[in-house]
Structures are given as C-alpha cells and as structure tokens.
C-alpha cells in the first residue's frame, strides 16, 4: 500500500517512542528509516521497526545514552555512543565531522559502541548537502565467507559515498561488499525460487542454488570484495578498539545486550584542494558524460551512481511510499513488537 512520507515518519516515530526511545531520538531514527523507504531500500526502512522496537524494549539499545564527542586531534575524533541508537549516534557523529571538515579541511570521526545504523548513505548525503565529500563505512553481522573459506567471518560491511554537483544532484554510492543482500535470499525462499550459484554457499562452503541451504554469503568479485570487507572491518572495528570479524555480535544473538558496533565517517572539504564551484561543476559534467555514453545491448541508459533512486523518490513523493500491508498494520496497531527476533539465527528464516 501507499503511505504519504510524513504519515509514515509519524507512525515509525510513535512506535519507536512507545518502545522506549526519547521523542527526539525516535524522530531522528524515523527520518533515517523513511530515507531508506523513500529510495526503495526497503530492507533498511520501515520493515526494521519491529526489530528495533523489540531490541529497545528488551534493553539492547540504551534509551538514555551519555553521548560524548571526544576530539582527539585537529581533524579527528571519537563519538562515544554508550550503547545508544545507531541511527541517532551516526547522525550526530556526522554533524561533528562536518563541522571539523568545514574548519580544517578534512575530518575522520569514529563512532564506537553503537547499534545498527541503517542505510548509511543518509549520513554521507548530509555532508554532500553542505558541499562536502563523504565516505562512511560500518561493521555488520558475520554472514560472509572470506575468499577461499567455508565459514562466515566478516559482515556485509557496507560502504557509502556522496559528492555534490552544481545543480543539486548528488553522486551517491551505498553498497554492501557481498554479491547480493541477505534480503534477496529471503525473497527467493518465500517464492521457492532458486538463486544463482554466485550468491552464497552451504554448510560445506560449496556454492548453492537452494536459498534454504544458504549458510553464508559470498564477497563481491572474490578476493577484491574480501579485501574491501576486511578494510571496513579494520577501520570501523579494530581501529576503534571494538569487536571485529566473527567477534561482532549478531543482530539477533541477545536483544538485551548492546551491540558494540563501530562506524567511521571521513569527510573532505573540496575547497581546501580546488575551487569548490569548479569541483561541483566537474561532478555535474561527470554525471552528464555518463548519461551520454552509448548504452550496451540490453540497457537503455548509463546511470551515474544513485541516479536509480531519483525516479523512485519522484514516484513516492507524488503517490506515497509503498510499504507492505502487514508493516502498515503493525505501525498503526497498539502492538510494540511481536517478540520474534531474540536469539534467532540470521540464516534461519
């Protein structure tokens, strides 16, 4: 069904507030989740509210965290999230990074002891909206085999990037370091459809086309994706003194405990390196150049990264954001959560 953006945000905010978040934190969290739904990234939108509400209600997210930003150098700092909501902590840390980059040209800000932070392009877009370039990376659940391995070690460890143009558009990259997202496996299970043998492996580490036998995901481009997810793990885990690799806790292992996840924001002020107006114009030229490249057979147009979101956003702004009926019914109900995630295996359903 279709729901107007502001109504969807209000419903999510109310549900998270009822679960235990403060009104201001619930408002920020709802904004990040609607950002994802509005772009068609439904795996990180309103479908997550039930999970967040259960973790909040069971004490696995600190509803009264002592957020503290520790500036460790002219261009660096650590945002201590104190087990608080990751959507809120990552946003507040990006605000600090933006302020540092504006003043000193570059900022590197880590976030430690946070919970899941959703679609991380939300945070890089914050910087691009202020004529800055940003990269954000974060830890996630161990669901991926290292190249040549048969057991999960790393998470999908996403990477987001954003840069501003001269006409208001943005180049936006938001990607996991796996061939395919876990949500695609779940979708294939629900349809009893097979999957390509390049997506995942079974318990023996063998490629599988049966979504019900998936025991781990595969990294993109083999050793290259493996290297990228290791890089993310080092910079958003080990660098911040946090659990890393297989030591990162699952989203579902114990909803009464804090996750202790990490995230790293890198923000660059282009005006410290070149003329900002020329920089933005060159980004616009890049976008236009890509759109004007002759498409390959089977393609109608070459898109710049993030352009695929534009049509979705325009449609949803006009006709309302499309969400599953069951999710809407949950959001308008008096139920806080369905008590279905605690100690659930990420590969169980």
What would the 3-class secondary structure string for 14-82 be? HHHHHHCCCHHHHHHHHHHHHHHHHCCCHHHCHHHHHHHHHHHHCCCCECCCCCEEEEEECCEEEEECC
Q: What is the crossing angle of helices 121-128 and 86-104, to 10°? A: 30
pLDDT of residue 187: 72
Q: All domains of the chain, ordered by start, with CATH?
A: 1-57+307-349 (1.10.1530.10), 65-174+221-306 (3.30.1370.60), 179-218 (3.30.60.50)
Please write the tens of the pLDDT for every residue from 20-76.
999 999 999 999 999 999 999 888 999 999 999 999 999 999 999 999 999 999 999
Cα first-last separation, the chain = 24
pLDDT of residue 143: 93
Within a 10 A sphere around the Cβ of 246, how many other Cβ atoms? 12
Structure tokens at 259: 């996750």
Give the Cα separation of 49 and 330 in Å (integer): 9
Which H or E run contains 231? helix 223-236
Q: What is the three-class DSSP state of 107?
A: strand
Asked if 196 and 141 count as a contact pair (C-beta separation under 8 A), the reply is no
Instruction: Tell me which residues are annotated as active site.
Output: 116
pLDDT of residue 284: 98
pLDDT of residue 190: 66
Give the Cα separation of 240 and 163 in Å (integer): 26
Q: Residue 125 carries which DSSP code?
A: H
pLDDT of residue 80: 98
Residue whose entry in the numeric block shows the structure tokens 């990180």 = 44
Q: How far is CA 58 from CA 52, 65, 79, 175, 337, in A?
A: 10, 15, 24, 30, 10
The segments of the chain whose pLDDT lies below 50 read none
Structure tokens at 111: 């976030």
- Of residues 91, 85, 86, 89, the one with CA closest to residue 20: 85
């Amino acid at each position: 069904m279709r729901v107007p953006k502001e109504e969807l945000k209000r419903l999510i905010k109310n549900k998270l507030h009822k679960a235990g978040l403060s009104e201001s934190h619930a408002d920020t969290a709802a904004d990040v989740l609607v950002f994802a739904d509005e772009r068609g990234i439904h795996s990180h939108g309103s479908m997550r509210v039930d999970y967040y509400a259960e973790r909040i209600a069971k004490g696995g997210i600190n509803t009264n965290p002592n957020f503290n930003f520790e500036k460790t150098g002219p261009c660096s700092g650590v945002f201590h999230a104190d087990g608080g909501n990751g959507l809120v902590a990552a946003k507040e840390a990006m605000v600090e990074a933006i302020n540092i980059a504006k003043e000193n040209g570059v900022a590197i800000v880590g976030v430690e002891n946070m919970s899941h932070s959703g679609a991380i392009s939300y945070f890089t877009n914050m910087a691009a909206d202020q004529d800055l370039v940003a990269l954000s990376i974060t830890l996630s659940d161990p669901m991926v085999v290292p190249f040549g391995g048969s057991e999960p070690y790393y998470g999908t460890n996403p990477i987001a990037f954003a840069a501003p143009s001269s006409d208001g558009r943005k180049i936006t990259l938001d990607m996991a370091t796996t061939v395919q997202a876990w949500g695609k496996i779940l979708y294939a299970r629900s349809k009893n459809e097979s999957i390509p043998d390049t997506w995942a492996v079974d318990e023996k580490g063998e490629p599988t086309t049966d979504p019900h036998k998936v025991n781990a995901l595969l990294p993109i481009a083999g050793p290259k994706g493996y290297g990228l997810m290791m890089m993310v793990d080092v910079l958003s885990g080990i660098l911040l003194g946090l659990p890393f690799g297989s030591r990162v806790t699952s989203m579902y292992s114990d909803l009464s405990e804090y996750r202790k996840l990490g995230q790293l924001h890198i923000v660059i002020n282009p005006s410290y390196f070149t003329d900002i107006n020329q920089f933005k114009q060159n980004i616009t030229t890049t976008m236009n150049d890509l759109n004007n490249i002759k498409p390959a057979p089977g393609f109608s147009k070459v898109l710049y990264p993030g352009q695929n979101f534009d049509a979705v956003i325009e449609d949803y702004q006009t006709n309302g954001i499309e969400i599953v009926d069951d999710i809407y019914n949950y959001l308008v109900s008096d139920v806080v959560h369905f008590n279905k995630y605690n100690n659930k295996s990420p590969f169980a359903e």
